[in-house]
């Protein structure tokens, strides 16, 4: 007999990276996705345990690993050791969980495959690095989930169970029906995110560009040598790193989000954040972009500065309600959680009755 009782006793572990808290205080991709997924599963009535940094906040049962998120912890010089400490905690009592969902790229694979326990791995980063090939070949039969189809290109032969697009809570971002008067750039200041392109586009189009971005240690030289001199432009306003609360206003009040990336972006959360606010996106044809943005419907996909400027001219043809509708139909946390539940169900061979609602 199929019943809720059996379903609700599915015990799910989520294993998060420790670089940011869950949810992150400021910028942080993977940890935010883990947060939305965890909270949504709890809202749906599942028993969820979250392994994360001690300053994380969740409705799930939290097993704190390190006292603070490692990126903001000045005293932590070896972040890897905390991740191995976490794995030791996870595998101390593996039978406590019906399924373990790892979000820490590949660190757990040698251990997880030695325990007879259902687990899945969502890879959050790029997979096109040549050094990944020999390692992942050893684990090619393990179940993986991609966050876009383009992400798989580096390792197409892995045992891909599904592609699950990231989702945000439906009410996280408020819809802004009116188009704004500035261009938005949100994310990291790094060579692959190409803020220099964004600045050039703003100057050619003749509209102010507001940059809300963090500068990681690894990108400090790039920031100082390439971007800082460009910030003198009268068309640019540099805001720095912003958190969740400010983001809605920042994106919602924009004329368009400029996403001029120069790398195989595995997903790009900022694109769906923008759509949730109703703000169209002008993005380079790289990585997951053509999977997330509908050219001519929710923004424009371009491949050079001039085509980006021409696209901005046509932004007035994009209906902001259509952008919001696309978000609600394809990119909510509920949809993400339901898709993951189907995968958990498949790999645990347990019959789960999905609660609709």
Which strand ranges, in their side-by-side order, compose the sheet holding 236-238? 236-238, 209-214, 183-188, 256-259, 281-284, 299-302
Gyration radius of the chain over CA positions: 21
Fold of the domain spanning 4-169+332-348: Rossmann fold (3.40.50)
* Whole-number pLDDT of residue 71: 85
- Residue among 233, 237, 239 at smallest CA distance from 215: 239
Instruction: Give the number of residues written for the chain.
Output: 357
CA angle (163 as vertex; 96, 295 as ends), nearest 5: 150
CA angle 170, 175, 177 (to 5 degrees): 155
Say what the pLDDT of residue 2 is. 43
Cα of 282 vs its chain's centroid, Å: 19
| Paired strand residues for 210 | 184, 237
- One pLDDT digit (tens) per residue for the chain, 357 residues: 344 445 557 999 999 999 999 998 876 789 999 999 999 999 999 999 999 999 999 999 999 999 999 987 888 899 999 999 999 999 998 889 999 999 999 999 999 999 889 999 999 999 999 999 999 999 999 999 999 999 999 999 999 999 999 999 999 999 999 999 999 999 889 999 999 999 999 999 999 999 999 898 889 999 999 999 999 999 999 999 887 789 999 999 999 999 999 999 999 999 999 999 999 999 999 999 999 999 999 999 999 999 999 999 999 999 999 999 999 999 999 999 999 999 999 999 743 333 333
pTM of structure: 0.92
pLDDT number for residue 8:
59
Q: Which of 91, 97, 101 is nearest to 162 (CA)?
A: 101
H or E element in which residue 338 lies: helix 333-348
- For 176, list phi and psi in degrees, rounded to 5: -115, 105
Q: How many CB atoms lie within 10 A of CB 92?
A: 8
Instruction: Please state, in angstroms and rounded to a whole number, the distance separating the CA atoms of residues 235 and 123.
Output: 37
CATH class, domain 183-330, is: alpha beta
pLDDT at 243: 79
Shared fold status for 4-169+332-348 and 183-330: yes
Residue boundaries of the structural domains of the chain? 4-169+332-348, 183-330
Query: In what side-by-side order are the strands of the sheet with 159-163?
Result: 61-64, 47-52, 11-15, 99-102, 119-122, 143-146, 159-163
3: left (phi over 0), alpha (psi -120 to 50) or beta: beta
For the chain, the helix, strand and coil percentages under 3-state DSSP, each to the nearest 5: 40, 15, 45
CA-to-CA separations, 221 to 172, 175, 215, 225, 228, in angstroms, rounded: 35, 37, 10, 6, 10
């Amino acid at each position: 007999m199929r019943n809720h009782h059996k379903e609700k006793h599915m015990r799910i572990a989520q294993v998060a990276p420790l670089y940011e808290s869950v949810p992150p205080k400021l910028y942080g991709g993977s940890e935010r996705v883990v947060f939305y997924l965890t909270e949504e599963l709890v809202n749906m009535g599942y028993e969820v345990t979250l392994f994360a940094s001690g300053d994380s906040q969740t409705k799930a049962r939290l097993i704190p690993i390190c006292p603070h998120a490692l990126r903001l912890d000045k005293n932590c010089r070896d972040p890897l050791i905390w991740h191995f400490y976490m794995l030791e905690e996870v595998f101390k009592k593996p039978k406590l969980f019906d399924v373990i969902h790892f979000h820490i790229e590949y660190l757990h694979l040698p251990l997880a495959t030695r325990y007879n326990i259902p687990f899945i791995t969502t890879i959050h980063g790029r997979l096109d690095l040549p050094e990944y090939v020999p390692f992942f070949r050893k684990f090619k039969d393990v179940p993986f989930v991609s966050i876009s189809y383009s992400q798989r290109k580096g390792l197409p032969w892995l045992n891909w169970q599904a592609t699950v697009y990231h989702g945000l809570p439906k009410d996280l971002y408020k819809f802004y029906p009116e188009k704004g008067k500035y261009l938005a750039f949100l994310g990291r200041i790094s060579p692959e995110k190409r803020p220099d392109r964004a600045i050039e586009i703003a100057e050619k189009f003749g509209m102010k560009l507001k940059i809300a971005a963090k500068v990681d240690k690894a990108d400090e030289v790039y920031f100082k040598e390439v971007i800082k001199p460009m910030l003198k432009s009268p068309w640019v306003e540099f805001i720095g790193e912003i958190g969740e609360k400010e983001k809605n206003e920042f994106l919602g009040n924009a004329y368009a989000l400029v996403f001029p990336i120069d790398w195989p972006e595995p997903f790009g959360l900022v694109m769906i954040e923008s759509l949730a606010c109703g703000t169209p996106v002008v993005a380079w044809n790289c990585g997951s972009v053509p999977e997330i943005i509908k050219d001519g419907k929710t923004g424009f996909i371009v491949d050079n500065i001039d085509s980006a400027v021409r696209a901005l001219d046509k932004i007035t043809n994009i209906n902001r309600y259509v952008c919001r509708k696309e978000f609600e139909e394809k990119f909510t946390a509920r949809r993400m959680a339901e898709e993951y539940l189907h995968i958990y169900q498949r790999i645990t061979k347990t019959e789960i009755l999905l609660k609709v609602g």
